[in-house]
């Protein structure tokens, strides 16, 4: 092949390079776009997963009703939007607070009592609660889909050639804020330290004068509050129906296992990894395999590092 050295030839090379360059640029953008999508998705999963991890870490139960709590929070934000005109993003602290109270009530009414029961009951109680709430929602509000039509975060932000969906960005920022709050709370406050003590050794904590029931209820409420925040942010862009939380709950469970049971930071990191695997892996390997990829990653972690990426290992 002749390499042109004269000026017109030089120009010709440049010209011929242009479309090639444009093509490569497009490919890079595609990857960046996928990565961004995965990161945003992961942060949203993370918000659901952190509450799940907190509850497990403190009282050793897997909250199978977590997805249902997210669903209830989504309905809550929807009704606030519909009847009071409150945007889901704005009402998210309110929903989180409400879900905190709801969680504490559920703990005192049901979970606290079952915790003293046999292992099987502890395992199944949240499972039953989840089914109950999903069916209750279907009974009360019909299986119809609901949607917040015009959220304030509605729209798209273009970062160079990358599309960033604003509602997802808001949810991700919210997720990071909640992660920060939980981190601060568990490490810096007296109640948080007591919660840590319970998760390390319940009996010793009780002997030191920590009120286990009260703090368990508090931790359960906190877990529900983060599910509530997740629901509120999701409601700003996702459709709402009784079964909506199930898949989020399931993915969150894997994120928690991946990040390490009991570690909220681990849950967030696990969720982000899942989001990226789902989006990038789904694109490269084939979208029909994207959930399979998540579970393969999970299996690998379980084999190589059974307690998860950041798990405490204590039970």
Partner 1 sequence: MHSKQVKRLRGYVLITLVLALVLGVSGGIMAQETIKIGAVYPLTGAVATTGADCRSGVELAVDIINGVYDLDFPFAKAAGIPNLGGAKIEVIFGDTRGDPTQGMAETERLITEENVVTVVGGYQSGVVKTATMASERLQVPYVLSDATSPALTERGFKWFFRVIPHDGIQAKNALELVKDIETKEDTVLPNLAILWENTEWGANVALEIKTWAEECGFKLVADVPYTYRATDVTSEVLKLKAAKPDVIIHAAYVSDAILFTQTMKAMDIRPKVMIGMAGHLDPNYLNTVGKDGEYFFVRAVYGLDLATRKPMVEKINELYKAKYGHDMSPNAARSFTAPFVVADAINRAASTKPEDIRQALAETNIPGSDLISPYEGVKFDPVTQDNVLGRSLYLQVQDGQFRVVWPFELAAVPYVYPFPEWDR
Which residues are at the interface with partner 1 (CB under 8 A)?
30, 33-34, 37-38, 41, 117-118, 120-121, 135, 138, 142-147, 149, 156, 163, 165, 237, 239, 241-243, 246-248, 251, 275, 278-283, 286-288, 290-291
Q: Name the residue nearer to partner 1 (CB basis): 75 or 218.
A: 75
User: Which of these, 149, 142, 174, 134, lies nearest to 235 by C-alpha position?
Assistant: 149
Rounded to an integer, what is the distance from CA 232 to the centroid of its chain? 12
Q: Name the residue nearer to partner 1 (CB basis): 242 or 262.
A: 242
Q: Name the residue nearer to partner 1 (CB basis): 185 or 291.
A: 291
**Distance of closest approach, residue 155 Cβ to partner 1, in angstroms:** 9
Q: Name the residue nearer to partner 1 (CB basis): 89 or 198.
A: 89
Q: Name the residue nearer to partner 1 (CB basis): 165 or 206.
A: 165
Q: Name the residue nearer to partner 1 (CB basis): 174 or 242.
A: 242
Q: Name the residue nearer to partner 1 (CB basis): 183 or 291.
A: 291
How far apart are alpha carbons 127 and 181 in whole angstroms?
28
**Distance of closest approach, residue 30 Cβ to partner 1, in angstroms:** 6
How far apart are alpha carbons 301 and 298 in whole angstroms?
5
**Distance of closest approach, residue 101 Cβ to partner 1, in angstroms:** 27
**Distance of closest approach, residue 237 Cβ to partner 1, in angstroms:** 7
User: Which of these, 259, 252, 213, lies nearest to 234 by C-alpha position?
Assistant: 252
**Distance of closest approach, residue 186 Cβ to partner 1, in angstroms:** 28
**Distance of closest approach, residue 304 Cβ to partner 1, in angstroms:** 26
**Distance of closest approach, residue 312 Cβ to partner 1, in angstroms:** 28
């Amino acid at each position: 092949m002749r390499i042109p050295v004269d000026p017109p030839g030089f120009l010709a090379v440049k010209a011929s390079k242009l479309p090639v360059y444009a093509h490569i640029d497009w490919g890079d953008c595609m990857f960046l776009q996928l990565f961004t999508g995965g990161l945003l998705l992961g942060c949203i999963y993370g918000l659901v997963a952190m509450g799940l991890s907190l509850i497990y870490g403190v009282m050793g139960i897997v909250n199978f009703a977590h997805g249902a709590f997210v669903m209830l929070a989504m309905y809550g934000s929807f009704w606030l939007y519909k009847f009071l005109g409150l945007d889901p993003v704005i009402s998210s602290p309110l929903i989180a607070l409400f879900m905190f109270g709801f969680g504490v009530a559920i703990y005192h009414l049901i979970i606290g009592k079952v915790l003293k029961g046999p292992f099987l009951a502890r395992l199944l109680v949240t499972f039953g609660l989840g089914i109950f709430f999903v069916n209750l929602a279907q009974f009360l509000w019909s299986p119809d889909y609901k949607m917040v039509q015009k959220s304030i975060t509605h729209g798209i932000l273009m970062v160079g050639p990358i599309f960033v969906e604003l509602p997802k960005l808001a949810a991700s920022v919210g997720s990071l804020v909640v992660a920060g709050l939980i981190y601060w709370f568990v490490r810096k406050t007296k109640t948080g330290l007591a919660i840590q003590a319970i998760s390390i050794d319940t009996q010793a904590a009780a002997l030191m004068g920590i009120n286990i029931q009260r703090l368990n209820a508090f931790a359960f409420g906190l877990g529900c509050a983060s599910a509530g925040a997740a629901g509120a942010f999701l409601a700003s862009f996702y459709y709402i129906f009784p079964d909506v939380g199930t898949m989020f709950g399931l993915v969150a469970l894997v994120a928690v296992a991946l990040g390490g049971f009991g570690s909220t930071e681990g849950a967030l990191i696990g969720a982000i990894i899942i989001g990226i695997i789902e989006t990038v892996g789904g694109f490269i390997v084939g979208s029909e395999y994207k959930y399979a990829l998540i579970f393969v990653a999970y299996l690998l972690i379980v084999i190589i590092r059974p307690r998860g990426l950041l798990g405490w290992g204590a039970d």
